[in-house]
Structure 1
C-alpha cells in the first residue's frame, strides 16, 4: 500500500485542527492541544473528530454535556488514547461509541464512571484490542454508581480470590442461624490502614454479582487462617457482638471468597482496570 501523501495528510490535519478549535470556542487547552499535533495525533484527532464528535452532538441538548463535549472531551480522550500507535488507530464501532458517549453526557462529572467510559472508548479505538470493547460493557457501567465503580476495581484487579464473610447469630438451642450482615469485606483507608464502613456494601456486591462481574461463594474459603484474621477487629463485628451476644445466641461468621468472573476479567481490561 503506498504511503499517504504528506501534503494531503497535512491539509487534512489543518482541517481537523480548525474544526476542533471551532468546536472548542475559546478554550485555550484545546487550542494548545490542536496546535501541537504530530502524525499520530493527527490520525487520533481525525478519528475523534469524524467518528465521535458527531455522535456526541446528539447529547448537546444537555447544557453540561454541551460544555464538556465542546471543551474538554477531545483532550480527555486524546490523553487516554495517545499511546496507541498511529497504524493501530481505528474508528470505534458505533454500537460501542454511541452509547458510551451518551453515558459520558450524564456522568462526565463523576470521576470514577468518566474514567471507565473514556477508557472503554480508547480501547475501542485500538485495533490491537478493540474486540474486547463489547457493547454490553457500556450498559454495565451505566448500572454502577460512582462508589460501585471505585470499590469493584479491587476485586477486578485481583487474580486470586479475596476473603469475604457473612456474619450471623448461631442460636444456642439448635434452632439455626439468623443472618445479620452479608458480604463484609475488609475495607480500609489505604494511607492509614484504618477500617472503613459502608452501609451500601452488601447491596453493591449483590449488584456486581447481578451484572456478572464477580461471584461470591460461602461453601468455599481460603484455608490460611490469616486471611480472615481481620474479621473480629472490624467495627461491624464488634458492634454486633456487643448488642447480640447473650445466653441464647452467639455472633459468628461464615468464611467465603469473592472473585472476578471471565466476564469481569474482560470488562476490567476494556475499561482500564489494571
Structure 2
C-alpha cells in the first residue's frame, strides 16, 4: 500500500507533468497540426450527425410505424415486447434508421414481437442478424426467400476446353443468373457467402436438383460477356464456360427469420 506522503508526491509530479504537456500542445506548431487534423476528421465524420437519431426521434417514428401494424391485430393479441428483443433493437435503430431496408426489418420484427400469435417465431438473435446485414444482404435474402424450394446456382469458371484448367477470379464464386440493381454479380456472390455464415441459407456445392436450368445460367449475357473478354485476350486457346452445378436454399432458421421480419 502507498503511504500518504508518497501519494502526495506522486500527485504533485503528475500535476507538474500535466502542465508541461499542456504547454507543449499549446505551441503554434502543434496547434496548427491539431487544427488541420481536426478539420479533416470533422469533415469525414460530419455526415454521421444526421444518421444518429436521438430517443425522442426514435420514439415518435417507432410509435407511428408500429401502430400501423398493430392496428391490424386484435387488441387481445397485443402484448409488450420482450426486453431482450426490444432494447437492442431500439438501440440499433438509432444508427440504422436512415437505411430504409434495414429499418423496415427492425420495425416488422418489433411489431411481430408484440403479437401474441407470432411471438414464438421472433428470436433475440434476429436483432443481431439484421445488425450484421447491409442493404444488399437484405435484398438478396428477400429474393432468395421468395421460394421455399431448392434453387439452382452455378460455380462458374472460364475454362480451357478439355484441359481441366481455368482462370481464377474471372467469375463470381456463386452465380444464380440474376443480380440486385446497383450491385455487381460479384457483390451478390459475396452476399451469398455472408448469408450462409449468418446461418440463413445453405450453399450446397456440387449438389443438384435436376439438370434443367443450369444451361440458362451458363448462357446469361453476364457470363457470355466475360467469356468473350477472355477469348479476345487469348485467341490461341479454346475457352468455354464450365464450373460446378450446385444448389442454394433458405433453411428453416432462415424461413423463421423471414416470417419474423415481414
TM score, norm. by length of structure 2: 0.70
Q: Is 1:110 aligned to residue 99 of structure 2? A: yes
Distance 2:103 2:183 in 1: 24
Is the aligned partner of 1:267 residue 2:254?
no
Name the CA distance, whole Å, in 2 between partners of 1:144 and 1:189: 15
Corresponding residue of 2:9: none
Shift of 1:146: 1.2
Contact 2:58 2:93 (C-alpha < 8 Å) held by counterparts: no
**Taking structure 1 as reference, are residues 196 and 104 closer, same or farther at Cα in structure 2, changes over 3 Å only?**
closer
Equivalent of 1:135, from 124, 146, 153?
A: 124
Larger-Rg structure: 2
The residue aligned with 1:81 is 70
Query: How far apart in 1 are the matches of 2:200 and 2:96?
Result: 21
- Asked if 1:68 corresponds to 2:57, the answer is yes
> 1:258: how far off?
0.9
Asked if 1 retains the 8 angstrom alpha-carbon contact of 2:153 and 2:214, the reply is no
Aligned to 2:8: none
Instruction: Name the CA distance, whole Å, in 1 between partners of 2:214 and 2:165.
Output: 26
Change (3 A) 1:209 1:63: closer
> SS in structure 1 opposite 2:178?
coil
Greater RCO (Cα-Cα under 8 Å, separation 6 or more)? 2
Aligned 8 A contact 2:154 2:217 in 1? no
Distance across 1 between alignment mates of 2:132 and 2:74: 32
Q: Which of 240, 250, 253 in structure 1 is aligned with 2:226? A: 240
Greater displacement, 254-263 / 219-228: 219-228
1:94 pairs with 2:83 = yes
1:18 corresponds to which residue? none
Return the alpha-carbon distance in structure 2 between the equivalents of residues 198 and 244 of structure 1. 18
Q: C-alpha offsets along residues 140-171 of structure 1, whole Å, 9 cap, x if unaligned? A: 00010012111211112311112211111334
Query: Alpha-carbon deviation of 1:172?
Result: 4.7
Q: Is residue 201 from structure 1 mapped to residue 193 from structure 2 by the alignment?
A: no
Task: Give the structure 2 partner of residue 124 of structure 1.
Answer: 113
Pair 1:226–1:251, CA change in 2 (3 A): closer
Quote the Cα distance in structure 1 between the aligned partners of 2:162 and 2:180.
Answer: 40
Match of 1:12 in 2: none
- Residue 222 of structure 1 corresponds to 209
Q: Contact between 1:116 and 1:271, CA under 8 Å: does it hold in 2?
A: yes
Matches of 1:175 and 1:231, distance apart in 2: 17
From 133, 151, 160, the equivalent of 1:144 is 133
Kindly tell me: are residues 271 and 201 of structure 1, through their superposed partners in 2, closer, same or farther at Cα, counting changes over 3 Å? same
Long gaps (5+) in structure 2: 1-50
With over 3 angstroms needed to count, the CA separation of the structure-2 counterparts of 1:175 and 1:185, relative to structure 1, is: closer
**CA distance in structure 2 between the aligned counterparts of 1:256 and 1:150, rounded to whole angstroms:** 21
Higher mean C-alpha deviation, range 126-135 or range 62-71: 62-71
Q: Quick one: structure 1 residues 166 and 175, their matched pair in 2 at CA, closer, same or farther if it must change by over 3 Å?
A: closer
Query: Matches of 1:176 and 1:224 in 2, distance apart?
Result: 23
Q: CA offsets per residue over residues 247-273 of structure 1, 9 Å max, x none?
A: 26533232221101111011111111x
Give 2:175's aligned residue.
184
Report the TM-score, using the length of structure 1 for normalisation: 0.67
